[in-house]
Every structure is written in C-alpha cells, then in structure tokens.
Amino acid sequence: MTTAPRQEMSASTSVGLDVLRIVAALVVVVFHASGQWLTSYPAAHSALGKMSHAAVVIFFVISGYVIAFTTATNNRGARRYAVARLSRLYAVLVPALLLTALVEVVVHGDAALTARYVREHAGLRYVMSALFLNESGSLSAAPPLNSPLWSLSYEFWYYILFGIWCYGSGRRWARWALLAAGVVAGPKILLLLPIWLFGVAAYRLPRNRLSAGVAWLLVGSLFGVLAVAVAYLPALPMTVGDQPLFMAGQFLTDWLVGGICALAIWCLPAGPGLEGRSWSKSLRAIADLSFPIYTLHFPLLVLWRVLFGLQANDFGQLGVATATVIFLAVAIGLLLEKQRPQWVRLFAWASDAVSQKPSGR
C-alpha cells in the first residue's frame, strides 16, 4: 500500500466539513423543491441550480478528504475498506431505490407527472443504478424520479479507483485493474475524478502552519471567491446536463470550484480551539444524515405533491413541503443507520466467502 503521512483531523476541520455537508445537502433539497413550486421564478431556479451542482462538487471534495483520512489513520486492509465503502453506499441506496419505485407506482395515476418522471426501460434503470452503472460510458440512466443518484455512481467508482491505487500499489495486477475500472466507469466519471483527488490532496499535503486568525481569514476569503465563481463563471466546456457529458458537462468550471474548496479545507486551522465542545457531536450526527437527505428527498418531494397537491409559486406551501420532506428523510435516515451493521455483516461475509480458497486434495 502507498504510504501517507498519518495525521489526525483537527477539530476545526471536522466541524468545517460537517457544516459543509449540511449546507450542501440543504441547497440540493431547496433547488429541487424550487423546481416543483417556483415555476414563475426561472432566474432564481437557475441560480439555485448552479449552487446545487456546486454542492455536489463540494461533496466530492469532502469525500476524497475523508477517504484519504480514514485509509491513513484506520487502515484495516483492502477487504475491510471494500466492506466499509459498500455498506455505506448500499445501506442508503437500496432503500432510496425502493422508495423511488414506490413513488413511481403512485405517480402513474397522474398523467403530467408520469410524462415528466417515467421513462422507458424503467426496470433496467433501477438495476443499473443498483450496480452503479447508470453513469458509465455514454449513459445517464438514473430513474428520473431520483436524479440525484447520478452522483453515487461517480462516488462508487472513485472508491474503486482509489482502493486499487491505495492497496494494489506495486503489484502487477493493479495497472490492469485501474485500466479496467476506468474503462467501465467511462469518460464522464473520470473527468470529475480530479475534483475528488483535490480532497485527497487537501488531506495529504503537509498541514498548514498558519495562525488561527490568518487561517480563518483565508478560509472566509476562499469561500467568498468560491461563491463568486459559482455565481458568475460560465459553464465550461458545456452546460451541465447536455449530451454527451451530462452532469460532467462543465468539468473545467467544476475543477476550479473543487480546487478552491479543497484549498479552503486545507486552510482550516490545525490547532486547538473547538475541541471538547458539547455541540460538536450533535453537529456530526446531523451531518451524517446529509447522505439520506440527499438520496431520499427527491421522490419524497414528488410524493408530497401527489398526496397534497401543488399550488405553484406558493412560498408557504413550498416551506411546509420542504420542511416535511427533510423531517421524513431524517427520520428514515435514523432508521437506516440502525440497519448499517447488517450491511457491514453482509459484505464482510461476502468478502470472506470470496477470499476463501477451495481446499485441494
């Protein structure tokens, strides 16, 4: 395995990452809620769309940082790495797909929503999403009723590629495995890989030696620059969602946004100052729910609309619907977290079964 400097995550960095995860998840929810309700405010919806896509870019940066941290400080080998990553993804993905399928059945009673959210080969879309192949090659095949699932396919292949590089370094098979994984992942996913690696670099670079005051000033300034970049930079080389790159369409712009975010995370103060705060554990628990909020909110928004109707451009109803959906996603997320050990045991059993060699006579 490639060695990396072992360093603990500072309390400031931990809190900063948690805040970023919470804010990013809420931005995505508000964007998708605005797409349902605020039909008379295209400019506002467009601005929220830019912020929502930037939020996913930030998620990628954070993911790279956290995986680099866990592999350096809690390395239990390739098999346990795979078990941890797969259990985390599937513990939320499978319920998200089941909820999406249920809502799709309900939506069939509404002609307008059926035309908007139901596509041909629906079953195949679910299977491909469950296998993280919905964004491979030239495809963009997540169920339209849960479009945010596109990023989980990207995330999965980043885990695979990093795991091969991390645990297969120096072995002959690793190059071929990297090549095979890259081919299956496809060009779209590889185009956003540098963003994830920016997060890895933010952890692996030597810790900054800045004073707390200077560090916080830089962090604030960089996030200010980040906000300006998201608001005013053009989509390069093409618009997000357009063929053939779909969600990787503005990869050049996303590289810049991801690089600024990673630099801001690296600048977070490394010294004491937030340790021991009683609210930090609560903040971490809330941040851990950002994943189920992200994966569950879209079908829940559509379900709310089916059950209670929709008053276009009604900010009161928008607020109630958004709050209700977040509450439900959090409640489901808490239940899913209790089931996480079952997924860990399942993948640990599968890993042990695969690794066992048949005995010879």
pTM: 0.94
For the chain, the farthest-separated pair of C-alpha atoms sits apart, in whole angstroms, at 75
Q: How far apart are CA 354 and CA 129, in angstroms?
A: 23
How high is the pLDDT of residue 172?
Answer: 85
Here the tokens at position 304 are 């709310």
Across 12-41, b (16+ Cβ under 10 Å) vs e yields bbbbbbbebbbebbbbbbbbbbbebbbeee
How high is the pLDDT of residue 271?
Answer: 61
How high is the pLDDT of residue 8?
Answer: 73
Cα–Cα nearest to 153, from 173, 179, 171, 126 = 126
How high is the pLDDT of residue 270?
Answer: 76
How high is the pLDDT of residue 161?
Answer: 97
Q: How far apart are CA 248 and CA 11, in angstroms?
A: 33
One pLDDT digit (tens) per residue for the chain, 361 residues: 444 454 678 888 899 999 999 999 999 999 999 999 999 999 999 999 999 999 999 999 999 999 999 999 888 899 999 999 999 999 999 999 999 999 999 998 889 999 999 988 999 999 999 999 999 999 999 999 999 999 999 999 999 999 999 998 778 889 999 999 999 999 999 999 999 999 999 999 998 888 989 999 999 999 999 999 999 999 999 999 999 999 999 999 999 999 999 999 999 987 655 555 667 788 989 999 999 999 999 999 999 999 999 999 999 999 999 999 999 999 999 999 999 999 999 999 999 888 775 544 4
How high is the pLDDT of residue 276?
Answer: 53
Q: Any idea what the Cα angle at residue 22 is, between residues 289 and 75, rounded to 5°?
A: 65
Q: How far apart are CA 149 and CA 132, in angstroms?
A: 9
Q: How far apart are CA 206 and CA 217, in angstroms?
A: 19
How high is the pLDDT of residue 359?
Answer: 47
Q: Any idea what the Cα angle at residue 286 is, between residues 285 and 289, rounded to 5°?
A: 95
How high is the pLDDT of residue 355?
Answer: 76
Q: How far apart are CA 290 and CA 19, in angstroms?
A: 10
Here the tokens at position 39 are 């039909």
Residue with tokens 């929810």: 29
Boundaries of every domain in the chain: 11-349
Cα–Cα nearest to 1, from 169, 234, 191 = 169
How high is the pLDDT of residue 282?
Answer: 86
How high is the pLDDT of residue 187?
Answer: 97
Q: How far apart are CA 68 and CA 166, in angstroms?
A: 10
How high is the pLDDT of residue 2?
Answer: 44
How high is the pLDDT of residue 1?
Answer: 43
Crossing angle of helices 290-308/78-107, nearest 10°?
10
Cα–Cα nearest to 65, from 215, 218, 166, 204 = 204
